[in-house]
Amino acid sequence: MWLIDRLAEEHIREAQACGVLDKLPGTGKPLVLDDDSTVPEGLRAGYRLLRNSGYLVPELLLCQEISRVEQLLAQAQDPDRRAGYSRRLAWLASSLNLARRGPENLQLQQACFEWLCRRVAGGKDGVCE
Which residue range is the domain that position 103 belongs to?
56-129
pLDDT value at residue 19: 86
What is the DSSP secondary-structure string of 53-118?
TT---HHHHHHHHHHHHHHHHHH--SHHHHHHHHHHHHHHHHHHHHHTTS---HHHHHHHHHHHHH
Residue 105 forms part of a structural domain? yes
Q: Is residue 84 part of a domain?
A: yes
104 vs 74, which has greater pLDDT?
A: 74
Please check the confidence at residue 112 and state whether its pLDDT lies above 70.
Answer: no
Express each pLDDT in 27-47 by its tens digit. Answer: 888 877 777 776 778 877 887
Q: Is the pLDDT of residue 17 over 80?
A: yes
In this prediction, residue 10 carries a pLDDT of: 92
Residue 21 lies in a domain: no
Asked whether residue 2 is domain-assigned, the answer is no
- pLDDT tens-digit map of 44-96: 788 788 878 887 777 778 888 888 988 998 898 998 998 898 899 888 888 88
Residue 80 lies in a domain: yes
User: Within a domain: residue 28?
Assistant: no
Instruction: For residue 9, tell me if it sits in a domain.
Output: no
Report the domain count for the chain: 1
